[in-house]
Every structure is written in structure tokens, then in C-alpha cells.
Amino acid sequence: EPQQKRGKGAVRWATVVCAGLVFGVVASAAFQTSNIVAGKVLGTTQTTNKTAKTTTTSNSKLTTSTNSSIGTANVTEVTKNAMPSIVSITNMSVQEVQNFFGGVSQQESESAGSGIIISQTDEELLIVTNYHVIAGSETLTVTFDDETSLEANIKGTDSEHDLAVIAVPLDTISSDTMEAIAVATLGDSTKLQIGEPAIVIGNALGYGQSVTTGVISALNRQNSGTDAQTGEEVTSDIKLIQTDAAINPGNSGGALVNANGEVVGINSSKIAGTTVEGMGYAIPISDVMDILDNL
């Protein structure tokens, strides 16, 4: 009889242990199920967060390298195609300078800017630039991509919109230079989106053509900046494109180019100051085509 009692006790304990294990498994499964359901409903699971972060990072890398956002190879290709249509402009002007004794004397002054080849007629090569680049000029010199320099004349100006068109006679341009240059491909600035790539090409500091990159920072900005060349205030009723691609003195009149190599803006000004960085402005090309045609 004692042996039989011990056997029954062991059975009872085994039953209790099994019941506990079953309860634990069921509770654990229920807990995991509730976590999964809550995660799907509230988006709080660790797996979801990792997936979102990976997807965002992957998409960012894909955009940068594949869609030519700011990838080195793509900028190189865009620049290679766009550079032949950009020129450097040297403005020789005469300014009146007051001397120490109160007298006024005339002094020759040289300033640098940029331009974009936008058209060719039977007689001339037409170049658009900013009005403030050619203002007060006695002599205008255009330097092409092959470093050939020729004299240009003014076709028309619009100081209100800070625009000018200058021309170089075709009979002064050699066949070698004509093969080295190109008429710019103009894009549609009305289709620009904030955050898309932007490339600035121009004669920065008068050293020759250089390239900076960034993005379209904002659209339809009122012009509240200063001239990138002279530091003077520039006024215009045209709503401008804002970019963080560096615009420096000498870039005025140069091209703001999109990732397809199309000119979407004419670089015109920047906000200068110790507390400001990366706020440059360009005139939207689509908004001024009628003006340029008239000029």
C-alpha cells in the first residue's frame, strides 16, 4: 500500500508539471501573438523599424547613384555636355573716382561675369547674361570653352529684370572654336521640384569656368539678395529659384543646370553675410523667354 500511494503521488506531480508547461506554452504564444498584432496596428515592432530605416537608406543611395542626383560620374557627364555653352565675360568700364583733394578722375575698371549661349543666327552667336554684368561697359570680351577670347556687342538690355543679350559676330569666330562650343539646351523651370539636384556653372572670381553642386532649395522667392559680383542690391519682380549650390562673384549670368544638363536658371545673386550660408538665386529661364526673345 505505501508503494501504491507513492505511485499515485508521482502521477499527480507529473500532471501538475505537464499542465504548467502547457499553460506556459499557451501564455507565451498568446503574448507573442499580441505583440505581433500590436506591432502591425501601431507600427511599434522592432522588425518594422529596421525595415523602414533600411528602405530609406537604400532608396537614398539608389537616388544618389542611379538618378544622377549628385553622383560624381553624373555631374561629370552633365558638366561635360553643358560647359561648351557657357562663356566667361570680361567687362572693361570707366568709372569716375573722387581723389583726396575732392577732384574727380576717370579710372578704368575690369569686372568678370558669365553668360550662356542660347541661340545662333546667320550672322551672330547670341549670349544671355545679367544686366549688371555688362552695365557701364566700354569693351566686352567673351571667352569661350576653348579659351578663345573675342569682342562682343550688346544686343539689348532689361535692367528691371537684370537681363541682357550680347552677340559675337560669326565671322570673327574660327571654325575650331565653333566646333568646341555649343548652344545650350534649355529646360522647363516650371517643372522644378524642391530637393532636386542643381549644378552651377560659371566664371567664379574671374578664374575661368568652375562647377558647384547642390539642390533646388526653394521656388518663387522674392529677390532680397545682393549681386554676386559687386555686392550691390539687385532688384527684380521675377520670382527666383533658390539653391544651396555655391554662387560666387563672377558666377552672375552663368547657368543653373538640372540633372539632365538643361539650363533652368540664370545665376544672378546671393545673400551675403556672416550668418548666412548657401542661399543663392537664379532667374527661372521659362519665366523670361519672352523678354529674351524681345532683347
290 carries an active-site annotation: no
Catalytic residue among 162, 189, 227, 268: 162
Task: Retrieve residue 2's grid coordinates.
Answer: 505505501
Give whole-number Cα distances, 42 to 20, 30, 33, 232, in Å: 32, 18, 14, 55
Spatial contact of 97 and 105, defined as CB atoms under 8 Å apart: yes
Spatial contact of 120 and 126, defined as CB atoms under 8 Å apart: yes
Task: Retrieve residue 265's grid coordinates.
Answer: 536658371
Catalytic residue among 132, 137, 161, 244: 132
**Which value, in Å, is the radius of gyration of the alpha carbons in the chain?**
33
Three-class SS of residue 121? Answer: coil
132 carries an active-site annotation: yes
Question: Amino acid identity, residue 39?
Answer: G
88 carries an active-site annotation: no
What lies within 8 Å, CB to CB, of 248 at 6+ separation is 204, 205, 228, 270
Please tell me the distance from the alpha carbon of residue 133 to that of residue 268, in angstroms, as a whole number. 9
Q: Which of 161, 118, 155, 160 is nearest to 137 (CA)?
A: 155
Please tell me the distance from the alpha carbon of residue 98 to that of residue 100, in angstroms, as a whole number. 7
Please tell me the distance from the alpha carbon of residue 190 to that of residue 185, in angstroms, as a whole number. 15
Give whole-number Cα distances, 108 to 78, 162, 203, 264, in Å: 38, 23, 21, 35
Catalytic residue among 114, 137, 236, 252: 252
**Catalytic residue numbers, as ranges:** 132, 162, 252
